[in-house]
Amino acid sequence: MSLTTAPRGTYDLMPNEALAWQWMEMIIREVFISYGYGEIRTPIFEHTELFLRGIGETTDIVEKEMYTFIDKGGRSISLRPEGTAPVVRAYIEHKLHGQGGTTKLFYLGPMFRQERPQAGRFRQFHQFGVELLGEEAPLADAEVILLAHDLYQKLGLTELEIYLNSVGCQHCRQKYKEALISCLWDSSAELCSTCQLRLERNPLRLLDCKNASCQKITSQLPSIHDYLCQACQDHFSQVIGFLDQVKVKYEITPRLVRGLDYYSRTVFEVVNTELGAQNAICGGGRYDGLVEECGGPAVPGVGFASGMERLFTTLEQRNKLPIFSRAPQIYIISLSDQFALIAFELTASLRRNGFKVELGFSSKSLKTQLKSANKSGAQLALIIGEDEWKDHQVTVKNMSDGSQTRVEWQELIEQISELITPQGVINE
């Protein structure tokens, strides 16, 4: 417990980084809106029950990672560990299914999971995502994947890999699970200890074990594609057909199984392989049973969630972040407290005319204040001292070449406007 450090797994976003985040958020919103999605802002916390039902009681997320507490009304409340269940809850609560047709929603905000932090993993982290509800056609799956693809493209990330798979419907998945169990029963002793547990709890997870000896064994296993029913096969091949048509490159990975219980048929991930152990920046798929599971009508859905910290790291790593400057255009220097009033007034007037102005707060020596002006990155320094004061003028100094002129207070805005524009571009 320390007063002077942020809680484990959390961090402060400092001003320069916050600019980059704002830029990311802007692009994300633009792309989502252009695809016809509307933003929804659900509460940061929900009734715990929602996540138990929505995510699955036996998933790690709800078993050991949720921030859960009892509020003063005796209700069990949890900070949201993911965004889909709350959106589905809101969809049901506002009876959006009653409006007919499909519903396209996106969200963006903090999520909370109590895990040990590591590269690309935080306890408070940020996700954005989309949910397309009320449509079971393969075209919906393809559109959601295309959306993710185009979004990363728009952010300048062209070299990401898309992994694609189908985990089938309840029926084919069940048959496949049984097949895995019977194939592995005899050799189970050769599996790593966690895989032995997986064999009992969730055999699909065996497929992406990182242990080399497990991989050797599981590489002999049949593919889930051999167990897909005709309808699931058709669905998958149509999704692929649409993606091919719009030249979205993907890799079919029969071993890709996603951890959350609610997925059915299409699942996909967008991966940055240079990211470390936690390299998925986006995960999603179809969840046809979820709305009903959460107490709504039997409405199909498909969507994805993307981790903003991992996305940010990727953008940084690949030099795709624009350079942001917080530098003022003009730095105002007053050489004595007796000129503070006029300096303050000139600052206000310049700001009201759209210039980005910084005012030195104390009247130190000119040298010191010019150093501050220099450090601030301002293009112009305005100096008000004894001489200027007497003549109702200011000295305007160009910080890049050191040249300076005297300007009447009355003409300042006009003169400055000839040197720089309110956007901060020098008029040459």
Partner RNA sequence: GUGGGCGUAGCUCAGCUGGUUAGAGCGCCAGGUUGUGGCCCUGGAGGUCGAGGGUUCGAAUCCCUUCGUUCACCCCA
Smaller CB separation from RNA, 245 or 338: 338
Q: Which of residues 28 and 209 has its CB atom nearest to RNA in the complex?
A: 209
If the CB atoms of residues 119 and 341 are measured against RNA, the closer one turns out to be 119
Q: How far is the CB of 274 from RNA (least distance, A)?
A: 11
CA dihedral of 35, 40, 44, 49, whole degrees rounded to 10: -100
CA 379 to chain centre: 34
Least distance from C-beta 363 to RNA, angstroms?
A: 11
Distance CA(292)–CA(298), nearest Å, equals 5
Of 97 and 198, the one with the shorter C-beta distance to RNA is 198
Q: CA dist 20 to 30, 65, 310, Å?
A: 15, 29, 14
Q: How far is the CB of 343 from RNA (least distance, A)?
A: 13
Nearer to RNA, 277 or 323 (CB): 277
Binding site for RNA (CB under 7 A): 1-2, 5-8, 59-61, 65, 82, 113, 115-122, 125, 127, 194, 198, 202, 205, 209-211, 258-260, 269, 276-278, 280-283, 305-307, 309-310, 335, 364-368, 370-371, 373-375, 383, 385-388, 395, 397, 399-402, 404
Q: Minimum Å distance from CB 287 to RNA? A: 11
To RNA, the closest distance from the beta carbon of 162 in angstroms equals: 12
| Residue partners of 17: CB distance under 8 A and separation at least 6 | none
Residue (198 or 286) nearer to RNA, CB: 198
Q: Which is nearer to RNA, 91 or 312 (CB)?
A: 312
CB of residue 202 to RNA, shortest distance in Å: 7
Least distance (Å) between residue 68 CB and RNA: 14
Closer of 97 and 287 to RNA (Cβ): 287
Is the Cβ of residue 288 or residue 309 nearer to RNA in the bound state?
309
The 3-state secondary structure of the chain, one letter per residue: CCCCCCCCCCCCCCHHHHHHHHHHHHHHHHHHHHCCCEECCCCCEEEHHHHHHHHCCCCHHHHHCCCEEECCCCCEEEECCCCHHHHHHHHHHCCHHHHCCCEEEEEEEEEECCCCCECCECCEEEEEEEEEECCCCHHHHHHHHHHHHHHHHHCCCCCCEEEEEECCCHHHHHHHHHHHHHHHCCCHHHCCHHHHHHHHHCHHHHHHCCCHHHHHHHCCCCCHHHHCCHHHHHHHHHHHHHHHHCCCCCEECCCCCCCCCCCEEEEEEEECCCCCCCCEEEEEEECCCHHHHCCCCCCCEEEEEEEHHHHHHHHHHCCCCCCCCCCCCEEEEECCHHHHHHHHHHHHHHHHCCCCEEECCCCCCHHHHHHHHHHHCCCEEEEECHHHHHHCEEEEEECCCCCEEEEEHHHHHHHHHHHECCCCCECC
Minimum distance of RNA from residue 72's CB (angstroms): 26
| C-beta closer to RNA: residue 234 or 274 | 274
> Smallest distance from the beta carbon of 241 to RNA, in angstroms?
25
Closest CB 280 distance from RNA, rounded Å: 4
